[in-house]
Amino acid sequence: MIRFDRATKKYPDGTVAVDELELEAPTGQITVLVGPSGCGKTTSLRMVNRMIEPTSGTIWLDDTDTASMPAHELRRKIGYVIQHAGLFPHRTIVDNVATVPYLLGTGKREARSRAMELLERVGLDPAFAKRYPAQLSGGQQQRVGVARALAADPPVMLMDEPFSAVDPVVRDQLQDEFLRLQGELGKTIVFVTHDIDEAIKLGDRVAVLRVGGTLAQVAPPAELLSRPVDSFVAGFVGRDRGYRALGFTESGALPTHDEPTARLGEAVPQGHDLVLVVDGEQRPQGWLDPASARGTVEESDLLRGGTLATQGGTLRAALDACLSSPSRRGVVVDEQGRLLGSLTAREVLDLIERDEEPA
Amino acid sequence: MSTAAAYAVPDLAAHVVQAASSSPGAFFSYFLDNRARTLDWLWAHTWLSVVPVLVGLLLALPLGWLARRYSFVYPPMMSITGVLYTVPSIALFVLIPPLVGLDPLSPLQVPIALSLYSTALLVRVVADGLAAVPQDTIAAATAIGFRPVNRFFKVELPIAVPVITAGLRVAIVANVSIVAVAGTIGMTNLGLLFDEGFKLSTDTPYYPPIVLGIVLCVLLALVLDALVVALDRSLTPWRRAVRR
């Protein structure tokens, strides 16, 4: 657990970066600090490992006042990941990862074999071990940055916009893998971002800070979306928050209708309505317009673009499947990706409305 | 050179071959006739070129670090070192003995002056090299738990190596040429060849010692430069890896 106890950072020119921050980051959870530029989120993060010393107040690491031990010792117990990874350009990847164990006096052989395990764990080919950072892409470097932060197995990790310098596709991948990794490791993480979507995706709890370094609201993401405390938080979490909040509501059993299907390679069916095409194992492949195809059903005839809702998934996924489907009928599949049936947006809306009735 | 010509006049009459002094034959025979003496001078020249650069680097590292660490130190330090570098070498050679209390013809005045020049040149190089280390890298090193001294030697200095070795190349080549000037005040090095050529050219030009001096200075500069390049390559394997 990390606890900010009236932590304040004032600069000599009178600027207040963080103002009496009271916040707790529970053990084993991801606490995201989010807010506009100048809200003191990075300053708050850096006060934890004393890259910035608080002007007043205390930051507790479990029962220890972080100011009570030498800064370098504190820092070796805390993993730290920054935006551009900040790898050491003159060291190989494996030595970058093994840096903290080296500092702690771990033998070279042991530190390196642990580093190799970690590289694999963050999804990097061990062949990268002997390369230098500049030979890796931004996303790969960021994975190395995460591996380096994990190398001494610190209970606490601080992450300062670690995924914001990579392109959106890679960012999404890194976020998913980060969540998977956290599922295995259960670290106490404080994560800074300016991106509310990232905050909502990753955070167990999200703390919204306002300019001047005060806490506006701290809550689980679903609550933040559904019950922002004031207009600042409401404005910051964004316009389509109602829709995004559905991402936190499990749909329960979706009522589905049977959906007529056609198979790849079979004759194009008769009719005017769009037909769902599945493969040999009943997995949806796309929609077919019978009027524009001849002979047999080919891959190239398919209309793609519809997302799939998984039975037992979220209402957001169900509604999105309906809205994105060329036929306006949302496709529902089981966990193995096999077709269960379809439903319409209207039916999902009924579910939403029923869901919101007081129990 | 003429101003200093009166200082020391080696007995050169035996080596004088006045005829056809610009032919390659005259050049080689001059070299062979004076082989032992020339190699001694070359050797002395080499030491005088290298050691002051090493001394200069040792002094420039802490000074450059200071200039980098405390930004208010940088401008005055760059002004002082810049002014120092503009003092003509011959004047510095003459000024140093009284300033540091040495005998006017002490053999130490030249290495001291050259060390000053090298320091002046390298302070800026070290400061700029350290400034070129990415802030992210320094922040990451600190956050990971490097203490300042350890961080300097394990992270900042190694990353600054390419900039520093580029400065070393300039310093060492500049020294080869400045050392020759000290020959004109009688210090033992290849500069004596120019002094000799000057003195033997009273009636008609006599080139062999001058050409020999130029050739050896250039060769020495090339060899020392190549050594610094080799040192740079051995210290920065990561840079070649990237270019591949």
Interface of B with A in 86-105 (CB under 8 A): none
Q: In Å, how far is A148's CA from the nearest CA of chain B?
A: 9
- Length reported for chain B: 244
Determine the pLDDT at residue B44: 86
Q: In Å, how far is A119's CA from the nearest CA of chain B?
A: 18
pLDDT(A53) > 60: yes
Asked if residue B62 is part of any domain, the answer here is: yes
Class of the A261-356 domain? alpha beta
pLDDT(A41) > 90: yes
CA A300 from centre of chain: 34
SS3 for A133? helix
Smallest Cα–Cα separation from B92: which of B109, B77, B73? B109
Convert the pLDDT of each residue in A82-104 to its tens digit. 888 889 999 999 999 999 999 99
Convert the pLDDT of each residue in A262-277 to its tens digit. 888 888 888 778 899 9
Average pLDDT, chain A: 90
Question: How far are the Cα atoms of A352, B72, B85, B165, B228 from residue B66, in angstroms, in the given order?
Answer: 65, 10, 20, 19, 25
- Length reported for chain A: 359
pLDDT(A216) > 70: yes
Residues A275 and A290 sit within 8 Å (Cβ to Cβ):
yes
Instruction: Please answer yes or no on whether A49 and B139 come within 8 Å at the CB atom.
Output: no
In the block, residue with structure tokens 């900010």:
A4
Cα–Cα distance, B46 to B40 (Å, whole number): 10
Residue of B nearest to A81 (CA): B140
Higher pLDDT pick, A247 / B172: B172
Residue of B nearest to A47 (CA): B143
Please check whether residue A103 touches B, CB under 8 A.
yes
Q: CA torsion, points A291, A297, A301, A306, in degrees to nearest 10?
A: 100
What per-residue string of b and e applies to B164-192 under the rule 16 or more CB within 10 Å gives b?
Answer: bbbbbbbbbbbbbebbbbbbbbbbbbbbb
Determine the pLDDT at residue A359: 43
Instruction: Please answer yes or no on whether A99 and B144 come within 8 Å at the CB atom.
Output: yes
Asked if residue B30 is part of any domain, the answer here is: no
A110 CB-near residues (< 8 Å, 6+ apart): A101
With contacts defined as CB-CB under 8 Å, which chain A residues touch B136?
A: 82-86
Please check whether residue A82 touches B, CB under 8 A.
yes
Q: In Å, how far is B225's CA from the nearest CA of chain A?
A: 23
Instruction: Please answer yes or no on whether B140 and A49 come within 8 Å at the CB atom.
Output: no
The interface pTM score, or ipTM, of the predicted complex is 0.75
Q: How many domains does chain B have?
A: 1
Owning domain of residue B160: 39-239
Convert the pLDDT of each residue in A145-170 to its tens digit. 999 999 989 999 999 999 988 888 88
Instruction: Please answer yes or no on whether B241 and A85 come within 8 Å at the CB atom.
Output: no
SS3 for A19? strand
Instruction: Please answer yes or no on whether A75 and B241 come within 8 Å at the CB atom.
Output: no
Q: In Å, how far is A77's CA from the nearest CA of chain B?
A: 9
Please check whether residue B141 touches A, CB under 8 A.
yes
Phi, psi for residue A39 in degrees, rounded to 5:
-90, 0
Rounded to the nearest 10 degrees, what angle do helices B24-33 and B35-69 cross at?
Answer: 90
Instruction: Please answer yes or no on whether A80 and B144 come within 8 Å at the CB atom.
Output: yes
Q: In Å, how far is A187's CA from the nearest CA of chain B?
A: 17
How many other C-beta atoms are found inside a 10 Å radius of the C-beta of residue B74?
A: 19
Asked if residue B77 is part of any domain, the answer here is: yes
With contacts defined as CB-CB under 8 Å, which chain B residues touch A131?
A: 241
pLDDT band at A329 (very low <50, low <70, confident <90, very high): very high
CATH architecture of residue range(s) A2-239: 3-Layer(aba) Sandwich (3.40)
Instruction: Please answer yes or no on whether A86 and B136 come within 8 Å at the CB atom.
Output: yes
Cα–Cα distance, A196 to A173 (Å, whole number): 17
Q: Enter the tokens of residue B23.
A: 């032919």
- Strand partners for A314: A250
Please check whether residue A335 touches B, CB under 8 A.
no
How many other C-beta atoms are found inside a 10 Å radius of the C-beta of residue B213?
A: 25
Cα–Cα distance, A334 to A316 (Å, whole number): 16
Instruction: Please answer yes or no on whether A132 and B238 come within 8 Å at the CB atom.
Output: yes
Please check whether residue A90 touches B, CB under 8 A.
yes
Best interface-test mutation with A: which of B135, B144, B164, B243 has the largest number of A CBs within 10 A? B144
From the list A78, A83, A88, which residue is nearest B137 (CB)? A88
With contacts defined as CB-CB under 8 Å, which chain B residues touch A72?
A: 145-147
With contacts defined as CB-CB under 8 Å, which chain A residues touch B146?
A: 72, 103
Kindly list the domain boundaries of chain A, sorted by start residue.
2-239, 261-356
How many contacts, defined by CB atoms under 8 Å, are there between A and B? 71
B176 CB-near residues (< 8 Å, 6+ apart): B45, B49, B217, B220, B221, B224
Domain containing residue B191: CATH number: 1.10.3720.10
Determine the pLDDT at residue B87: 85
Q: What percent of chain A has pLDDT over 70?
A: 99
What's the rounded mean pLDDT across residues A67-78? 92
**pLDDT per position in chain B (244 positions), as tens?**
444 444 444 445 444 444 456 677 777 777 777 777 888 888 888 988 899 999 999 999 999 999 988 989 999 989 998 888 888 888 888 888 888 877 777 778 888 888 999 999 999 999 999 999 998 899 999 999 999 999 999 999 999 999 999 999 999 999 898 888 887 777 778 888 888 788 877 777 777 888 888 888 899 999 999 999 999 999 998 888 765 5
